Structure 1
Amino acid sequence: MKKWIRIVAVAGLITLPLGATTAVAATPEAAAEGAAGFRVLPYLQNPGADAMTLSWVSERDEPGTVTVTGPGLRGRAELTSEPNYLDLMEYTDAELAQEIPGLEQGSWLLSDSSYRHTATLDGLKADHTYRYTVEQGDETFDGTFTTAPTAERWRDLRVVAFSDTETEPAGAIEQREWELHPETGYTADSVPRPGPGSLWEETHGSTTRYGEFTLRYPIDQQRALVENLGVIEEADPDLMLLAGDLVQGSGYQPAWDEFWRHFAGEYGTLATNTPLVTAIGNWETYAGINGGYGTPEDRSPAVIGRNRYHDYFDTGGDPENPHYKDSYHRVDYGPLTVITLDSTNGIPDENVNEGILSGEMFSGDDTNPTEARRSTDTQGSFTAEEYDLAFADVFGATPEDTDLPNFNPGTEQWDWAQEQLADAREQGQIVVVQFHHAPYSSGVHGTPPNHEYADNQSGVAMRVYTPMFEQYGVAAVISGHDEMFERSWVDEDGDGAGFHVYDVGVAADGLRGEQLAPDENGDYAPVDFNSRSEWTASGDEPETWELDENGNPRLVDGGLHYGHLQMDLENTRCGAEMTLSPVYVFPVLDEDYELVRTERRVYDDVVDVQLADDGTPLAGAPDCHPGRGHGTGSKQ
């Protein structure tokens, strides 16, 4: 029986199974049979007050068994799984032959077979912890999960959100750009960052952004995600939201292997005890070395990418339109409703490179959003028609059976979203909405395709939902895509009870700042298109560097780092309070700029949202002390 433990090293955190290595090479023999036991450890989905779904992946066509003990089960429940072969997960010739400089060829590959197992556990009691054991082949995994409280009886909840994990094998050696705001990058008493020829550049490298020398971050992407998830696990959240771009190309299987190593595998086990609530991003329609987005004549790489995502995740989607395969879905967790939308396709299609635009060209900021300027699409790399034809070819269906929904008014997804928001409001729920493409952003994707500084995958088209979100009292919108840490405040009707929009794309990939453009002097300055922006980590958290005893600059505080948004809900006499805390994982380095450890820190932009008894945000901040006797259990 394999026991899984967590190892905390002096030089940081890593998670490994006892006696395992960080990668398993694929041999012809292993590819033919597959290893016994787990390819992906059990992971949680579809959480509720009386049910939970457990899924896992094996490499052999053998059923697994699940044993659950806890209240309401009369001792224990036992289920046997039925393996479902995932033919889309087979490695391509390009993946098997891929070489990544700095890594042993093929060291990241597993066997060439994947069987998914799913067990739905019901008849559970609300707000109780259950122990489960999954036996697969000669391996056993023990875990726990906690059911949701009821909407009527709860004390507090904790939800954590981030986006743009974008996992891939090359993340083990790739360190990303670390942008610095050109105007507010430093505190008044800070010395400058290390420059060209410095020990930092020698140790971690540099790149060029906007024609300027830019440092690379001192942690590679793989380590960044391990550290970020380690901090999240310590926070013990009830739910984990992933707002898209889970992998560096969903049509690239090694990227998925790397994803599960972090969430339910060698590097970490967050998903084995915390339910994942995921959204589809643009990288879920990208195939990496297997053709990217495809060609106008053949968009099958995009189709395969989306459907690899579908094969891994079960969510409660639209029962009236099952062909969309739960691309958009709803989760109710006690008093909280999470609505997840699919922001990857709008109509009419727009493409900057081909001059196909829905709105008139304009410049400046977004303070004059006329109807003529409105954009409609977030994906300039392929059209919906091209995708639908490829879907029909791949699955032997008709284009009308496509799994790619449109998000614009009058579509199935639009109508479903309105129905769910109206229902949640009628039930008095607190509502959070997530999707990938940030509608309000100061980053490179923050300007629409018909702007002077155009973007071909802009999230601006998703602003079409703003009136709906205000109408039904949405408390917060979670998104990513720009790989920033930003908060915007949206109150278009001016009643003081709007909603906060976050770009939380700081999971583990790029560390980008504001979109820049040359000013009248030829110097790069922020475009500042997003007039709703209230805070960004790059612009509002200046860095403080001090010289050490060797004369090398050392970062002591501030700056843009990997992190996540922590959302704490507390029951109060007025209704509820939501505290939104932007958490970052600060790297502590030694005199040679090597990582010693990381520290959990919180940016100076913690926001409290007061919510009425019906779940809607309140204008102002009434004095509401926490309610007493409203529920059981409490997060510290």
Structure 2
Amino acid sequence: MTPLPSTGSSPVEPQPGFRVLPYLQAPSSEAMTLVWISELETSGTVTVNGPGIGRQTFTSDPQYLDLMEYSDAELAQGIDGLDQGSWLFSDNNYQHVVEIDGLMAGKTYRYTVDQDGVEHSATFTTAPDADRWNHVRLMAFSDTETEPAGRIEHREWETAWAGLADGSADRPAIDSLWAERYGTAVRYGEELVRYPMNQADALDANIATIAEQDPDLMLIAGDLVQGSGYQPAWDEFWRHFAGDSSDLASNVPLVTALGNWETYASISGGYGTPEDRTPVVVSRNRYLDYMVTPGDPANPQVRDSYYRLDHGPVTILTLDSTNGLPDENTATGMLSGEVFSGDDTNLTPERMSTDTQGSFTAEEYGEAFADVYGTDASESDLPDLGEGSAQWEWAEAQLADARAQGQVVIVQFHHAAYSSGVHGTPPNHEFADNQSGVAMRAYTPMFEEYGVAAVISGHDEMFERSFVDSDGDGVGIQVYDVGVAADGLRGEQLYQTEDGSYEPIRFNTHSEWSASVDEPELWENDTNGNPQLVDGGLHYGHLQMDLQRTRCGSELTLTPVYLFPLLDAEYNVTGTERRVYDDVVTLELTADGEVVADNSCRGNAHRN
């Protein structure tokens, strides 16, 4: 594949050892895939010790990743506050993929990878047997959106619509010590102080807190980087997950989804132009090069952009929500349904949207893909998400199979179908959004029919839970926006009224809880009269999902965790504290993996 044009090369010489530390992919009860990136074209060795295999050694076959070369714009980029180019590596990226099979279920293995005489050791644990397990812990967040600028950038910090808690002091003003230290930003016509932690520190704290809880899997529901076609963003992502900052991905498998930022090239071309969408093709395939997933064997053309993982009693379906047909675009008036107003009770079938991406069409992408690969446009790797598509048929077949096996089913994709945020309204709404996730609501009847317990998404950079029970049987689906990994801390989507004030749109009538609405901030003035944050408000965090076996079947506890910033009297961040928002949900499930409507204990005690 032809990368973005570049006439220069990185000033950094290739180094021995690891550019990206080993990270775990495609986990199962019998196998694990190790992936790492080096800068030299030399084979590495993996030594694995554990039950059933004793001690085995594998040798890797390095493959050059030409997409990862820096563009001229990336080489010339300057970032205020950072030394120019201090974030760059060499242009060399050699990928090593080693699959280790013949493993035993629910066992821990120690491994060491030697690359150019540099060693990295870690452990992994295989998935338990579906009939022999006690506890499974999953962690999920979205919108890490890494980039070098995140090391110094403090994002906007919207005031929760809930406002301030009873008895709270006022938030720091725009002329306060807080504002002097962290700056201000304008949201909906109001100037507000920025968040006290920069994006990089916030992500590191999030990852460290997750690691302390010893999860089985780490789910990232899209927008991993601030533009997948922007290589420094990927370098920064791996620094956090498999590099200088942490090696979480060396010990816990990453289960990731494509987001809209995985189709964007940032300063290396953005979304391209209608005549040339090459930057989108490069961005998407850069993600697909890094992630090694099981995919859809019947549709290898899409390069594993959607896939299934079974982890003991849990089935996780990851969908690709980046494209729908017919294409929609608010800028051109290309809409699938009539324009309407009000909340989603007015979302009739005739008004249902079909697309999540208004910045390019599937046809434009297909033409660019054909130009880059020298194929026919019909061979594009961009799947449709809609009814009747290959992805749709695959998803229904996997759900039917998982239900027949008595699995607890979780689905993840990026574009939140139910949201009160800026992407919560469809492109044919009075207050339209051009990258709305509403089109993904088409899957809701399917999810309900096959007993999906929870749906994990992001995109709106909020923490929100919606409950959807469209067939009225009392069971329904818990739907989460977990876009609080490390980027923006946004609140509800607002609109400006005739008198100039702002009010929430609240298109999503299924919302049950959100940090924006239900978690007011509590401030107390210190002895110097400076307000200090005590609790509540919008913060970075993640969703912890614990599946525990019970005498009737199992319980799935969904815990919204946030990282409370600890500050001294001068507003210096001294650390974070793991806290839990007041919306812990526990679902009772039968031995066949289905949610019980009334939380009454019934069903068989164990799966036979």
Q: Same fold (TM over 0.5)?
A: yes
**Displacement of 1:539 after TM fit?**
1.0
Pair 1:42-2:33 in alignment: no
Contact kept? 1:572, 1:626, Cα under 8 Å: no
Query: How far apart in 1 are the matches of 2:44 and 2:81?
Result: 37
In the alignment, the residues of structure 1 paired with residue 288 and residue 403 of structure 2 have an alpha-carbon distance, to the nearest angstrom, of 29
CA contact (8 A) 1:572 1:624 kept: no
Query: Which residue in 2 is equivalent to 1:61?
Result: 41
Mapping of residues 49-198 of structure 1, within 5 Å: 49-73=29-53, 75-182=54-161, 184-198=162-176
Q: How far apart in 1 are the matches of 2:239 and 2:496?
A: 42
Say which of 249, 259, 265 aligns to 1:281: 259
Residue 614 to residue 590, structure 1, CA distance change in 2 (3 Å): same
Question: Where do 5+ consecutive residues of structure 2 fail to align?
Answer: 1-7
Q: Tell me the distance in 2 between the aligned counterparts of 1:197 and 1:489.
A: 41
Which residue pairs with 2:351 in the alignment?
373
Equivalent in the alignment of 1:228: 206
Once the two structures are TM-superposed, the CA of residue 181 in structure 1 deviates from its matched residue by 2.9
3-state SS of 1:417 partner? helix
Distance 1:316 1:397 in 2: 24
1:253 aligns with 2:226: no
Partner of 2:244: 266
Change in 2 beyond 3 A, CA 1:282/1:28: closer
SS in 2 for 1:367: helix
Aligned length: 601
1:481-532 per-residue CA deviation (whole Å, 9 max, x = no partner) reads 0000000000000001111000000000000000011235432111110000
CA distance in 2, matches of 1:626, 1:156: 18
Secondary structure of 2:346's counterpart equals: coil
Q: Deviations over 1:308-339 (max 9, x none)?
A: 00110111111111010001000000000000
Cα distance in structure 2, aligned partners of 1:334 and 1:197: 54
Aligned partner of 1:241 in structure 2 is 219
Counterpart CA distance in 2 for 1:568 and 1:181 is 28
C-alpha separation between the residues in 2 aligned to 1:223 and 1:29? 27
Q: Does 1:515 align with 2:493?
A: yes
d(CA) in 2 for partners of 1:198 and 1:273?
A: 43
CA distance in 2, matches of 1:187, 1:37: 52
CA distance in 1, matches of 2:209, 2:237: 17
Q: Which residue of 2 aligns with 1:22?
A: none
Q: Distance in 1 between matches of 2:131 and 2:408?
A: 12
| 1:508 aligned partner, one-letter code | A
1:551 aligns with 2:529: yes
8 Å CA contact 2:553, 2:604 repeated in 1 = no
Query: Over residues 19-45 of structure 1, what are the superposed CA-to-partner deviations in whole Å (9 max), with x where a residue is unaligned?
Result: xxxxxxx996744xx100000000001
Q: Structure 1: which amino acid aligns with 2:155?
A: R
Q: For 1:36, what is the secondary structure of its paired residue? A: coil
Residue number among 275, 278, 285 corresponding to 1:300 in the alignment:
278
In structure 2, the residue corresponding to 1:55 is in which secondary structure?
strand
Matched-pair contact (CA < 8 Å) for 2:412–2:456: yes
Query: Does structure 2 conserve the Cα–Cα contact (< 8 Å) formed by 1:167 and 1:259?
Result: yes
38 and 433 in structure 1: CA distance in 2 versus 1, 3 angstrom threshold: same
Match of 2:585 in 1: 607
Please give the alpha-carbon distance, in whole angstroms, between the structure 2 residues aligned to 1:346 and 1:130: 41
Distance in 2 (alpha carbons) for counterparts of 1:624 and 1:47? 32
Q: Partner of 1:433: helix, strand, or coil? A: strand
The amino acid of 2:299's aligned partner reads N
Determine if the alignment matches structure 1 residue 570 to structure 2 residue 548.
yes
For residue 188 of structure 1, what is the amino acid of its counterpart? D
Give 5+ residue unaligned stretches, structure 1: 1-25, 632-636
The alignment status of 1:334 with 2:316, answered yes or no, reads no
Q: How much does 1:364 deviate?
A: 0.6
- Identity across matched positions, percent: 66
Aligned-pair distance for 1:187? 0.7
**What root-mean-square deviation, in Å, do the aligned CA atoms of Structure 1 and Structure 2 show?**
1.5
Worse overlay, 268-277 or 514-523: 514-523
Q: Provide the C-alpha distance between the structure 2 equivalents of 1:151 and 1:218, rounded to a whole number of angstroms.
A: 44
Any residues of structure 2 matched to 1:430-509 within 5 Å, and which?
430-509=408-487
Q: CA deviation at 1:368?
A: 2.9
Query: Could you tell me the TM-score, scaled by structure 2's length?
Result: 0.97
Cα distance in 1 for residues equivalent to 2:427 and 2:12 = 48
The CA distance in 2 between the partners of 1:623 and 1:550, in whole Å, is 55
Report SS of the residue matched to 1:353. Answer: coil
Give the Cα–Cα distance (whole angstroms) in 2 for the partners of residues 351 and 27 of structure 1: 37
Q: Distance in 2 between matches of 1:380 and 1:27?
A: 34
Is this contact kept in 1: 2:222–2:257, CA < 8 A? yes
Tell me, yes or no, if the aligned pair for 2:12 and 2:88 is still in contact at 8 Å.
no
Paired residue secondary structure (2:252): coil
| Structure 1 residue matching 2:331: 3-state secondary structure | helix
CA distance in 2, matches of 1:192, 1:360: 44
Look up the SS of the partner of 1:475 in the other structure: strand
Tell me the amino acid that sits aligned with residue 89 of structure 1. M
What code does the residue aligned with 1:107 have?
Answer: S
Whether the 8 Å contact between 1:546 and 1:553 is mirrored in structure 2 is yes
1:561-602 CA distance string (max 9 Å, x none) = 000000000011211100000000000111111101100000
**TM-score normalised per structure 1:** 0.93
For 2:216 and 2:10, the matched residues in 1 are separated by 42
The answer (yes or no) to whether the contact 1:109–1:254 under 8 Å persists in 2 is: yes
1:66 CA drift (Å): 0.4
Give, in whole Å, the separation in 2 of the partners of 1:393 and 1:549. 66
More moved, 552-561 vs 394-403: 394-403
Separation (CA, whole Å) in 2 of partners of 1:136 and 1:548 = 53
Q: Is the 8 A contact 1:571 1:626 kept in 2?
A: no
Query: Partner of 1:228: helix, strand, or coil?
Result: helix
In 2, Cα distance between equivalents of 1:126 and 1:319:
23
- The answer to whether the 8 A contact 1:570-1:626 is kept is no
Using the alignment, how far apart are the partners of 1:627 and 1:274 within structure 2?
A: 30
**In 2, distance between residues paired with 1:193 and 1:437?**
32
